Amino acid sequence: MIVKPTRRNVLGLMAVLGASLVIVSAGALALGGVHLRLGEVWSGLLGADLHSEVSIIVRQIRLPRIILAALVGAALAVSGTVLQALLRNPLADPYVLGVSSGAALGAIIALWVGGRLAAASPLMAFGGALVTIAWVYLLGRRGGRLASYTLLLAGVITASFLSAIILFILTLLSTRDVRGIAFWLMGDLSVVTDVQLRILGPAVALAIGAIYFFAKDLNVLLLGEQEAAYLGVNVARVEASTFLLASFLTGMAVSVSGAIGYLGLLVPHLGRMIVGSDHRTLLPTAALGGAIVLVISDTLARTIVSPAELPVGAVTALAGAPVFIYLLRRAAG
């Protein structure tokens, strides 16, 4: 199926996906380790008594986590979409390119050093993501342009090198820190603070909005850099801007949730199957689709081994690999 990128279609698509996200979130709000009736969820959400258990569970535990999942899902999926377009390679995603590892390393160094720095681990993760992406970007540049295969290889190697450093530091850390980091390395949404949501919300929305501004240019870039240049696209500017925006999104996401795999890889592929590869429709689809997928994944993570909880990264990896193989087979057949 291919949706034509008229303004009406894009708005319609966003309305449909937005409504789906709301429905999925409502379901996620009703599910959890504690069984709540729908009426209770409703009164917990809208009731005046902020200190009742139901209200605390719905408003302070489930809702912030769902919002976090939606924001992180949208950020990772859009980031993956952009990277796949830029590198003209269906395997590109923030995880593969080492951005997630860079963020993880930043956070781990913060915990390793300890003290005040430990509290700033999200900030360090963000720094780690940006430094890594700058490094990979510089390695991948040839004569002022992005050389897509060089960049991909540079990313893969950087990712594995950073993972090696992480493993090395892990052996030196005390058990107490390792426990926290293990969850973080797998990707975990169980730790939310209001400050994180307040920063993440506008930042993700702004960055995705800014990327949408380049949607047409990304379409042209898919034809190849030469062709795009002939068609009047300022290739270097578009590449640099979207690449930085995508890294910013990944850095923000990883800094609060750890390294959640497969989402940035899988959701763009799903999106292309649904709406085609025009970025004017694909970008909003990826954003809302990523949000929906991660909200569902995290609801599973919260409920399948209840009362214990899984890290959401375990769910996305378990479900992601088979789904990806299925999509490959379907695309081939």
Partner 1 sequence: MALGEKFEIGPPAGRERFPRAGKIELGTMRRVALGAFALGLIVFSSATPLFPRIITDQTGRRVDVPENPKRIISLAPSITETLYALGLGDRIVGDTEYCDYPPEARLKPHVGALLNPSLEKIVALKPDLVLGIAEANRRETADQLDRLGVPLYGLTAHSVEETLNSIEDLGKVLGRGAQAHELVAGLRRRVDAVKQEVEHAPRPKVLFVVWYRPLITAGPHTFIADAIGIAGGISISDDLAGEWPRLSLEDALHRDPDIILFPKSESFSPSLDEFQQLAGWKDFRAVKDHRMYFVPDTINRPSPRLIDAMEEVARVLHSEQKSTARGPESSR
Q: Which residues bind partner 1 (CB under 8 A)?
A: 32-34, 53, 56-57, 60-62, 171-176, 179-180, 183, 190-194, 302, 306-311
CB of 99 to partner 1, least distance (A): 23
Q: In angstroms, rounded to a whole number, what is the distance separating the alpha carbons of residues 128 and 320?
A: 25
**Coil/strand/helix, residue 142:** strand
Q: In angstroms, rounded to a whole number, what is the distance separating the alpha carbons of residues 95 and 37?
A: 39
CB of 188 to partner 1, least distance (A): 8
289 alpha carbon, distance to own chain's centre = 11
Look at the block and give the residue holding tokens 């899988």.
Answer: 266
> In terms of CB distance, is 134 or 191 closer to partner 1?
191
CB 76 within 8 A of CB 297: no
In this structure, what are the phi and psi dihedrals at residue 213, rounded to the nearest 5 degrees?
A: -55, -30
> In terms of CB distance, is 176 or 330 closer to partner 1?
176
Name the residue type at position 124. M
> In terms of CB distance, is 48 or 195 closer to partner 1?
195
CB of 172 to partner 1, least distance (A): 8
> In terms of CB distance, is 4 or 179 closer to partner 1?
179
CB of 116 to partner 1, least distance (A): 15
CB of 166 to partner 1, least distance (A): 17
User: Of the candidates 51, 52, 23, which has an alpha carbon nearest to the alpha carbon of residue 40?
Assistant: 52
CB of 80 to partner 1, least distance (A): 27
CB of 185 to partner 1, least distance (A): 14
Q: How far is CA 80 from CA 40, 149, 257, 292, in A?
A: 38, 16, 16, 16
> In terms of CB distance, is 63 or 151 closer to partner 1?
63
Whether the upstream peptide bond of residue 90 has omega within 30° of 0, thus cis, is: no
> In terms of CB distance, is 193 or 234 closer to partner 1?
193
- According to DSSP H, which parts of the chain are helical? 7-30, 38-46, 53-55, 63-86, 99-113, 116-119, 121-140, 148-172, 175-186, 194-212, 215-221, 225-230, 235-257, 263-275, 279-303, 312-332
> In terms of CB distance, is 179 or 237 closer to partner 1?
179
CB of 308 to partner 1, least distance (A): 4
> In terms of CB distance, is 40 or 278 closer to partner 1?
40
Q: In angstroms, rounded to a whole number, what is the distance separating the alpha carbons of residues 248 and 244?
A: 6
Q: In angstroms, rounded to a whole number, what is the distance separating the alpha carbons of residues 194 and 268?
A: 29
